[in-house]
Amino acid sequence: MTSKLYLIAFLGLAISFTSCEQQTAEPQTSNMKLWYKEPAKASVTDDPNGWSDDAEWLKGLPMGNGAFGAVVFGDVHKERIQLNEESMWSGSENDNNNPDAFPALGKIRELLYEGKYKEATELTNATQICKGVGSGYGSGANVPFGCFQTLGDLWIDFENKQPYENYQRELDLEDAVSRIQYTQDGVNYKREVFMSHPDQLMVIKLTADQPGKLSFSTSMSRPEHSQIHTENDQLIMEGTITDGKEGEGLNYIVRLSAVNKSGDLSFTDNELVVKNADEVTLLLTASTDYVLDYPKYKGRPYKDLTRTHLQKGKQTSYKNLLKRHITDYQQYYKRVDLSLTSNLNDTIPTDVRLQNFKTSTTDLHLVELLFQYGRYLLISSSRPGTLPANLQGIWANKVQTPWNGDYHTDVNVQMNYWPAETTNLGEMHLPLFDLTKTLQTPGSETAKVHYNSDGWVVHPITNVWGYTSPGEGASWGMHVTGGAWLTSHIMEHYYFTLDKAFLEDTYPILKASTQFYMDWLVEDKLTGDLVSGPSVSPENTFIAPDGSKCQISMGPSHDQQVIWQLFKNFIDASNALEINDDFVQQVTAAQERLAKPKIGVDGRLMEWNEAFEEVEPGHRHISHLFGLHPGYQIDVEETPELAAAAKKSLDFRIANGGGHTGWSAAWLINQYARLGEAENALHGLEMVLQKSTNPNLFTSHPPFQIDANFGTTAGIAEMLLQSQSGSIRLLPALPKSWANGSYKGLCARGGFVVDVTWKEGIPVDVKVFSKEGGECTLEFKEQKITFDTEKEKEYFPLKEQNPFGAISKE
């Protein structure tokens, strides 16, 4: 703690509280809309195997219920709705563990101690990487690793091909409904689309304001492995995708049915045809036979499930389907409000706003929209019981999705979940833990075969088939701390919720991960410190003393910090569960002995244990600052020297072109926010919006990658509220241009939900809702307030007197 900190203990004094349920304000008219004056054009131009994005698809509006996703184009003459189902993965379970790995491990460590980095990197490439083709270098659709793929397209071909006017389409984040309207031949047409979680249906309502004016035919298609047929009142597309071993993989089905008001409904062999209706509701369901259950993975009764969903949906009125959808969605979405600007009527289409932002960054409404969009996307792609959001969430329009649309565990899947706790969507975090759980068995086999270690390990990538081996190239594939990083999310969930039952359930995962690294760490021969290795600093390359370009070393800073965090988490978890056995003692001792972050001669935080020069100084990964964010090891108050060195490293990365991918810029927001560097954090946010955001506000690497959407939402929250240091920091990185504003419902560790209104940069109104009771410390600049709380009560600590205002004016 710095000595400058004042501590005002308000214990039991001027804190007023009332006990009540949390309240959410009813929005007036929704200002949280993405809206456009033009449709996305529905022609198929996507290359199913190409890595570049289809520009029209990135204008379409994504929807999802956690498992079933869609991108709605809104084309007038022929609507295209591109479909996704989260488990539409090719490939199958496979053994990629390399028996050559362990026998060579000792030799590689020896070479590294002798300074023979080139030889060590070569031997790592020859022995430590996975057996077989691994991920197929990110193009694994036809190998066992597999690939997350498009489910296909729904087409609605309208009979009326006349010109149209008064066109508008929108996605309303307040109710997760997409609406399209236009006038054609004097008739006003409307479409309403939503993805219902409670009814597991996609619902599309088509209306015209004059009778008999709706005539269209509906069909479905997929680039490969699909058959279309009808079954009673349904149009069906189904098929079997490849297991990557020239055999049959998962089976899938999409069912479409319709309810019409007047007019005629009929089927051809491959179309559902509507003639002269007043109103039509289309209902779709989809599923595969995948189950997240190593090593079985198959067995969901997908045909019966989808049949039941559709039958039930048809028996329910549109009004009720919509109502159930909105109630379900809003229970999550409405927990958080953010206002950085006065809530004026939104008269500027979203794509125009985005374009304008490239030259003028004053549009705070766009910042609010991007923030809430990240929350919308998380609710839409990750629900309790689903698979976690992958590199593209659940939205992919190709058969070969870039990087297989997999789970990258060297930052990307973790970034997806950075906003989960802080923006009050903790339930959406659960799928990540389910996946982590199923990695236990394959991850422990990999730990045995590769390192003869106990516990479990994951390297930089995983998939829905339990892939835990290293990647197929050492430069990126020898990331050994994927498992530890995943595990840190378990503890984040606990720190925010204090849910002991959850911790008891997941403690074995934490313990087994800790066991792995206890076996894996070795003593540095020179210093006696415990170091990780042979390993990489994610995807970065250094210049070895002999001038060769290498990646493999002992004790890269990233690994050391991730393992430090894991050990801290494990010790905290053990304390919370009152476990204090020999193993906990050993881990406590080992944490002390870990090689710690070091500052180089140039004042930057060192990326490797030795003072190497990096090949790419503006590298997109900023992994050696893990301890600053998302970790806790580096803190402006607790470790000011390391924080200053971290700032130098960040500034250096930026000066050399860093932040050039969407997710890299998004990480900069979070890291600068942790440093209290408000304007730099804002700069990261502006980089995301100016360089890496598409018309539909999907972010890009490029190509499209959803992590920056989530990372940006998390970063904005991190600028407004932090709690990693034991106290709740209010407005820790507030840029000058956000001088006045308010938020409601952001979460802090310790089970607190916080609302803040600020004026001229100073909190003037604060409400703290305590979910679990316990002491609460609020911090603003150098001022702290501490008070006790009781479970499920709310507190207004600035009501009687505002010490933050007084001190700030001094």
Which residues inside 661-690 make contact with ligand FUC, applying CB under 6 A?
A: 661, 663
The candidate with the shortest Cα–Cα distance to 108, out of 97, 100, 119, is: 119
The least CB distance from residue 732 to ligand FUC, in Å, is 28
Q: Look at residue 789 and give its three-state secondary structure.
A: strand
- What is the DSSP code string of 226-282? -EEEEETTEEEEEEEEE-SSSSEEEEEEEEEEEEEESSEEEE-SS-EEEEEESEEEE
| 481 interacts with ligand FUC by CB under 6 A | no
Q: Which is nearer to ligand FUC, 616 or 638 (CB)?
A: 616
| 409 interacts with ligand FUC by CB under 6 A | no
Q: Which is nearer to ligand FUC, 593 or 660 (CB)?
A: 660
**What are the C-alpha distances in Å from 665 to residues 321, 405, 444, 629, 747?**
40, 20, 34, 13, 23
Q: Which is nearer to ligand FUC, 74 or 91 (CB)?
A: 91
The least CB distance from residue 33 to ligand FUC, in Å, is 29
- Mask: binding to ligand FUC, 696-715, rule CB under 6 A, as x and -? -----x---x----------
Residues 460, 468: contact at Cβ < 8 Å? no
| 479 interacts with ligand FUC by CB under 6 A | no
**What are the C-alpha distances in Å from 652 to residues 461, 561, 604, 661?**
28, 20, 8, 16
Residues 706, 374: contact at Cβ < 8 Å? no
CA distance 452 to 444: 10
The candidate with the shortest Cα–Cα distance to 484, out of 391, 403, 558, is: 558
Give the distance between the most distant pair of CA atoms in the chain: 85
Q: Which is nearer to ligand FUC, 529 or 539 (CB)?
A: 539
Residues 361, 683: contact at Cβ < 8 Å? no
- Enter the tokens of residue 576: 């919370």
The only residue of 332, 403, 417, 612 in contact with ligand FUC, by rule CB under 6 A: 403
| 463 interacts with ligand FUC by CB under 6 A | no
The least CB distance from residue 140 to ligand FUC, in Å, is 13
The least CB distance from residue 473 to ligand FUC, in Å, is 11
Task: Provide the terminal-to-terminal Cα distance of the chain, rounded to the nearest Å.
Answer: 21
CA distance 618 to 502: 40
The least CB distance from residue 458 to ligand FUC, in Å, is 14
Measured over the CA atoms of residue 509, residue 512, residue 516 and residue 518, the dihedral's sign is positive
Q: Which is nearer to ligand FUC, 282 or 665 (CB)?
A: 665
- Enter the tokens of residue 525: 């021969």
| 398 interacts with ligand FUC by CB under 6 A | no
| 450 interacts with ligand FUC by CB under 6 A | no
The least CB distance from residue 664 to ligand FUC, in Å, is 8
The least CB distance from residue 392 to ligand FUC, in Å, is 10
Q: Which is nearer to ligand FUC, 470 or 797 (CB)?
A: 470
Using a CB cutoff of 8 Å and minimum separation of 24, what contacts does 572-581 make? 572/491, 572/495, 573/491, 573/494, 573/503, 573/507, 573/510, 576/494, 576/500, 576/503, 577/500, 577/503, 577/504, 577/507, 579/507
- Mask: binding to ligand FUC, 712-751, rule CB under 6 A, as x and -? ----------------------------------------
Q: Which is nearer to ligand FUC, 133 or 576 (CB)?
A: 133
Q: Which is nearer to ligand FUC, 367 or 665 (CB)?
A: 665
The least CB distance from residue 436 to ligand FUC, in Å, is 18
The least CB distance from residue 201 to ligand FUC, in Å, is 32
| 213 interacts with ligand FUC by CB under 6 A | no
| 412 interacts with ligand FUC by CB under 6 A | yes
The least CB distance from residue 225 to ligand FUC, in Å, is 25
| 619 interacts with ligand FUC by CB under 6 A | no
| 447 interacts with ligand FUC by CB under 6 A | no
- Residue 99: other Cβ atoms inside 10 A: 10
Crossing angle, helix 640-655 and helix 678-691, to 10 degrees? 30
The least CB distance from residue 88 to ligand FUC, in Å, is 19
Q: Which is nearer to ligand FUC, 321 or 396 (CB)?
A: 396
Q: Which is nearer to ligand FUC, 191 or 621 (CB)?
A: 621
| 391 interacts with ligand FUC by CB under 6 A | yes
The least CB distance from residue 798 to ligand FUC, in Å, is 42
Q: Which is nearer to ligand FUC, 706 or 747 (CB)?
A: 706
| 653 interacts with ligand FUC by CB under 6 A | no
Q: Which is nearer to ligand FUC, 271 or 539 (CB)?
A: 539
| 620 interacts with ligand FUC by CB under 6 A | yes
Count, residues near ligand FUC per rule CB under 6 A: 12
Which residues inside 531-550 make contact with ligand FUC, applying CB under 6 A?
A: 539
The only residue of 116, 307, 353, 408 in contact with ligand FUC, by rule CB under 6 A: 408
The candidate with the shortest Cα–Cα distance to 790, out of 764, 770, 767, 766, is: 770
Q: Which is nearer to ligand FUC, 371 or 704 (CB)?
A: 704
- Enter the tokens of residue 377: 């996307």
Using a CB cutoff of 8 Å and minimum separation of 24, what contacts does 262-271 make? 262/211, 262/212, 263/212, 263/214, 263/215, 267/230, 267/235, 268/217, 269/228, 269/229, 269/230, 270/219, 270/228, 270/229, 270/235, 271/217, 271/218, 271/219, 271/235
The least CB distance from residue 125 to ligand FUC, in Å, is 17
Strand 227-231 relative to strand 214-221, pairing? unpaired
- C-alpha 652, offset from chain centre: 27
| 381 interacts with ligand FUC by CB under 6 A | no
In sequence order, the 6+-apart residues with CB closer than 8 A to the CB of 645 are 597, 599, 600, 603, 604, 605
CA distance 748 to 410: 25
Measured over the CA atoms of residue 397, residue 399, residue 402 and residue 408, the dihedral's sign is positive
Q: Which is nearer to ligand FUC, 225 or 408 (CB)?
A: 408
Crossing angle, helix 364-381 and helix 350-357, to 10 degrees? 120
In sequence order, the 6+-apart residues with CB closer than 8 A to the CB of 784 are 5, 6, 7, 8, 727, 777, 778
The least CB distance from residue 410 to ligand FUC, in Å, is 6
The least CB distance from residue 479 to ligand FUC, in Å, is 9
CA distance 58 to 700: 10
The least CB distance from residue 403 to ligand FUC, in Å, is 4
The least CB distance from residue 412 to ligand FUC, in Å, is 5
| 558 interacts with ligand FUC by CB under 6 A | no
CA distance 676 to 704: 30
Q: Which is nearer to ligand FUC, 354 or 391 (CB)?
A: 391
CA distance 462 to 456: 13
Q: Which is nearer to ligand FUC, 68 or 403 (CB)?
A: 403
Q: Which is nearer to ligand FUC, 465 or 476 (CB)?
A: 476
| 647 interacts with ligand FUC by CB under 6 A | no
Q: Which is nearer to ligand FUC, 412 or 488 (CB)?
A: 412
CA distance 614 to 605: 13
Which residues inside 2-61 make contact with ligand FUC, applying CB under 6 A?
A: none
Residues 63, 193: contact at Cβ < 8 Å? yes
The least CB distance from residue 617 to ligand FUC, in Å, is 16
The candidate with the shortest Cα–Cα distance to 763, out of 803, 733, 790, is: 803
- The footprint of ligand FUC (CB under 6 A) covers 391, 403, 408, 412, 476, 539, 620-621, 661, 663, 701, 705
